[in-house]
Structure 1
């Protein structure tokens, strides 16, 4: 894409735009009871804590409809990628993750993240970007932290308009 062509709206950042120390916050997303049912059915997560309200009420230390950590992560990634890597993200390479607290159906999550590594990759003008992502609920509590490493397009790898 040359400098005289208009920027494609909705296109994510190129790796060169994500300098160490840059910080961002996504919009929020409320996880509904139906979302938990759909997610657990889709992935075959038949753990009674997620699928059996009677069992969960009798055996869980946490009251309410629990959201699987895998779903919290998936929702967080959707929020982050829509805002930063749409059309410029090339590969998810690695992540470390910690679940810090429970998420319940009805909770609204957003992600606050900071670029902690940004460097060129070995070929084709691409770059490697690592962020520290904190998933925060509506009470301001961090419920998950993770640090993904992504392969990102450089300006020379821009998607076609």
Structure 2
């Protein structure tokens, strides 16, 4: 007999992402908000090697964007992190394709969030998986759209389902 204090197989898992069967075309979500900090910028450019003057010199005056802009890929990554923690944790099998358009600069101190709409859902022929396409629109705290992208992912199905 299993010890009831260690047998957690019947407890719901906090943070568990959606199985593809939980989604439908037209379904919409909104992420939490996330403020982009100077530390985020410094860590990101250090890890990626994106040591471009507009990102490393707070007083750089020759760039087209005044202030402390952050790489668009940092903004995208922060939103993908929010989605992973809430929508696809434990169910996301692969990111297959991304089409992204940057509309406006994001600056250190801006707060971003995303609205997500499921635009496609196609179960695969085997393996209890599906190809899920989503439209993701990222906004800043002024409700200005800063990035839009379409992402196609493979998601797992509910265990035991066919």
Q: TM-score, normalised by structure 2?
A: 0.90
Q: How does 1:4-153 map to 2 (within 5 A)?
A: 5-55=10-60, 58-153=61-156
**Higher radius of gyration, 1 or 2:** 2
SS in 2 for 1:36: helix
Following the alignment from structure 2 to structure 1, what is the Cα–Cα distance between the partners of residues 134 and 85?
Answer: 15
- Change in Cα spacing, 1:79 to 1:92, as seen in structure 2 (3 Å) is same
8 Å Cα contact 1:126-1:157 kept in structure 2: no
Following the alignment from structure 1 to structure 2, what is the Cα–Cα distance between the partners of residues 29 and 14?
Answer: 25
- Change in Cα spacing, 1:54 to 1:89, as seen in structure 2 (3 Å) is same
Cα deviation, residue 119, structure 1: 1.2
Cα deviation, residue 157, structure 1: 6.5
Following the alignment from structure 1 to structure 2, what is the Cα–Cα distance between the partners of residues 36 and 45?
Answer: 10
Aligned residues: 153
**CA deviation map 1:70-119 (0-9, x unaligned):** 10110010111211011011111101000010000000000101000011
- Give structure 1 stretches of 5+ with no counterpart: none
Q: CA RMSD in A?
A: 1.6
Cα deviation, residue 64, structure 1: 1.3
**CA deviation map 1:29-67 (0-9, x unaligned):** 000011101100011001111112232xx1123221011
- Change in Cα spacing, 1:7 to 1:109, as seen in structure 2 (3 Å) is same
Q: TM-score, normalised by structure 1?
A: 0.90
Structure 1 equivalent of residue 5 of structure 2: none
